[in-house]
Each structure stands twice: as structure tokens, then as C-alpha cells.
Chain A
Amino acid sequence: GEDVEQSLFLSVREGDSSVINCTYTDSSSTYLYWYKQEPGAGLQLLTYIFSNMDMKQDQRLTVLLNKKDKHLSLRIADTQTGDSAIYFCAEVLLPPSNTGKLIFGQGTTLQVKP
């Protein structure tokens, strides 16, 4: 089945690291994405990881993928107040069902306190 789950809320202090977790159920996923949504805005692609990778680092962002447990995490180092937003993980399925359908988690609201 298709299901992606995330914790709903995370609060951190400015300068700390944030870790947002996500679990997915479809073992045939190809790419897993992290999107950020700020108030009143659309979704901004932050980073992605291919399902045959374990880790990907992109500046302050580190994505870890545990395929055995179907667990994905996004670590934001040195979290800033500008990182306050809702973060969505999403998976897309393998061809031939690869028709642009993203399955999203519920979103994690990240609150960064000064």
C-alpha cells in the first residue's frame, strides 16, 4: 500500500540540529523527497535521495535512508529561525506506475525558537 507517516511537530532552539523523521510503506519507491512549505506558499524542493542510497549531504541538510526499516530522516544542522516551516517527505513510485504521483506525509511543523 501507499502510506507515508511523519511526526507532526518539532521544536528546537536556534543553532541546534533538527531531525525530522518519516516512514514509508512502498518498497518499490525510487526517489524520496523532502519539501518545505512556508506560510502562504507552495512547496519548495529541498533535497532528494535515490532509494539505493543510504545517505546524502547537501550543505546543512543530511538525508539518511534506512531501507530495511523504510525510515527516512532529514537533519538540519545549525537550525535558523528562517527554517521554521512545514516539512513534507514524499515518495514517488517505480515505473510503469511512474506517472507523477507523489505520496506525501502529513507534514512536520518545525518551530525554531530564538
Chain B
Amino acid sequence: KAGVTQTPRYLIKTRGQQVTLSCSPISGHRSVSWYQQTPGQGLQFLFEYFSETQRNKGNFPGRFSGRQFSNSRSEMNVSTLELGDSALYLCASSLVPGTPYGYTFGSGTRLTVV
């Protein structure tokens, strides 16, 4: 079966612009969570959606937002981009969070802000 699909794989944006990243979870998975990975901060939790509802949010500014659609696909948006937003953004889907099934990650979107 298809894994978690993230698009695009690479993105270059200019400071001040906004960006939207997309994540399609494994079929049947209703939980989608997002993480930011940087060399300095490591893997940081952004937010988690389950059945179109945001259930948990990490410690990120309001410029970072997300949503989930009825087909469980999720998008995250970053507005007014800053250089420090350059990172690998990973999406993970889960059948049931916090279980042995774990979380299946996509390959990520590499965002570079110039």
C-alpha cells in the first residue's frame, strides 16, 4: 500500500512569503502530525490532527498553521517566512496514535528560505 506522501519534496522561498505543504496519509489513517527538523533544534512537534480537528499544538508561533480535510489529507501553512524556518518538514500518519503501530513518516519537504 502507498506510504505517506509529502509534496513538494523541495521548496525555495523568499523571506516574507508564505508556503503551503501537503501531506497525504496512508489510506485509513486518520491521525496526521507534523514535525520540523533542523540541525540546531532537532525534531520538534508542530501539531496533530485527527478527523479534521487539531488535537495538540507544539510551541510554534501563530505563523504556523494547519488543517485536515475530510479525506484525512493535511496541509500546513507558514506565513511571513523567516530564514529560521528553513528546515525539513516531516508529516506522520497513524492508525491509532500511541500504539505499536507507531507513526509512519513521509520523506519530508525540504524548505529553504532565502
Contacts and interface: CB of A to CB of B under 8 A. Distances in A.
A114 interface: no
Interface string B23-47: 0000000010101000000110100
Contacts of B92: 43, 100, 102
Nearest to B43: A104
A30 B98 CA distance: 7
A92 B100 CA distance: 11
Contacts of B48: 99-101
A80 to B, nearest CB: 22
A40 B108 CA distance: 9
A3 B107 CA distance: 25
Contacts of A82: none
Interface stretch (A10-18, A44-52, A63-71): A44-52
A42 B107 contact: yes
A101 B102 contact: no
Contact of A104 (B6, B42, B55): B42
A100 B31 contact: yes
Contacts of B33: 100-102
B56 interface: yes
B70 interface: no
A92 to B, nearest CB: 5
A50 B92 CA distance: 20
A5 B90 CA distance: 20
A99 B94 CA distance: 11
A99 B56 contact: yes
Given A100-B56, A101-B33, A31 B100 contact: yes
Interface of B: 4, 6, 31, 33, 35, 42-43, 45, 48, 50, 55-56, 58, 90, 92, 94, 97-100, 102-108
Interface of A: 30-31, 33, 35, 40-45, 48, 50, 88, 92-95, 97-107
Given A42-B108, A48-B102, A104-B42, 17 more contacts: A30-B98, A31-B98, A31-B99, A31-B102, A33-B103, A41-B108, A42-B106, A43-B90, A43-B105, A45-B103, A95-B98, A98-B97, A99-B50, A99-B56, A100-B94, A102-B33, A104-B43
